[in-house]
Amino acid sequence: MITGVKRIRSWKKYSGHVPSGERVYIGLEIVEEVLPYLKKVGFEPELQIGRAILPSPKLGKVALFNSEGRYESQKDLPMETSYREGYWERTDWQGNTHGGWYDIPYKHYPRKHISPPSEYLVILERGGKKFVVAGDGFVQGEEDETRIIHKVNLLLEVFGRAEILRKDLTSFIVPKLIKVHWELLPPGEMPWPKLQQHLQPLVKNLSERKVPLVLNRFKVLSSHNPDFIVQGVHGYHGYLVFGFSQLNLYVLESPFYGNATYVFEEDWEKLSQLTKAEILSGNLHKHRVVHLTNWEDELGKVFKESSTLQNV
């Protein structure tokens, strides 16, 4: 059992007893004291075998990297100019309030995105006992140690402990993973005031400057009358997908990830089974609309193009 530490930096320090070539998992037996942590992750009380959840980035720094990845500044390269949205507001001498959006230039080193590991916590069963494990098993001596260390640190962050479990696949029940990433918001007409209430938890931790920018983007998408809206859960917290089935458009928007809106023309049920890394970096999107002052106009062009194609 690995316990008493928040993170490990070396795999060899904890795996000297594991024979080379042995197949193992990083996990825990589910005993009474583990149950509250499983509930916090999002597992239901019945602990369905095969249930897999991507831990929410809110659980800590390791879970954040696991879900979102990270950016590393490349300080060996020249600085470059980028832009972010700003919002201004002022009151004239008659007491009328005016406001608008503008682009703010800033200098920074080029950033390299490190893809998220996207390790799921999975419920397995062996000999009448249940276990929670981090991702797939691996063969000692054949797996990238960085990935193993990440799995251990993910369990340490979520549960405060981790264990190296010997794994005999012939004696384990290893069903197909059951991944639930999205929840359908109440179907039917969703006017902006009603949708805005659903969005409040997503923006409550944003800076005061960002709130009007983010809400405006969601409001614009809502004005195009989507026939369904799904909201991300667990590791997908903060993501919304606006579905426009008649146009074969599915728009992925988040107040947290990067600086663009992603538009897909794929079957949504298929996309919903993919990880965020696969969705956002797998060249699956049809359009990428950058969050600048012309964002609404550029998005409008996407809808107009799709509408024209559907009417041909």
CA-to-CA separations, 121 to 24, 27, 56, 61, 125, in angstroms, rounded: 15, 9, 11, 16, 13
- Residue 312: the pLDDT is 47
pTM summary value: 0.68
The position carrying tokens 């930096």 is: 9
228 and 260 in contact (C-beta within 8 Å)? no
**Can you spell out the DSSP letters for 222-258?**
HHT--SEEEEE-GGGTT-EEEEEGGGTEEEEE-SSST
Burial tier of 202 (Cβ tally within 10 Å: 0-12, 13-18, 19+) = buried
- Residue 172: the pLDDT is 35
- φ, ψ of residue 179 to 5 degrees: the values are -105, 125
Low-confidence residues of the chain, pLDDT below 70? 168-180, 184, 186-190, 235, 256-258, 272, 276, 280-282, 309-312
What is the rounded CA–CA span in Å between residue 134 and residue 150? Answer: 9
- Residue 64: the pLDDT is 92
Torsion angle, alpha carbons of 5, 174, 131, 162, to 10: -10
What is the rounded CA–CA span in Å between residue 11 and residue 164? Answer: 11
pLDDT cut 70: percent of the chain above it = 87
- Residue 240: the pLDDT is 82
What is the rounded CA–CA span in Å between residue 135 and residue 129? Answer: 18
What is the rounded CA–CA span in Å between residue 82 and residue 74? Answer: 15
- Residue 149: the pLDDT is 94
Q: Model confidence over 26-67: pLDDT tens digits?
A: 999 888 899 999 998 888 888 889 999 999 888 999 999 999
**Can you spell out the DSSP letters for 9-36?**
S-STTT-TTSPTT-EEEEEEE--GGGHH
- Residue 133: the pLDDT is 92
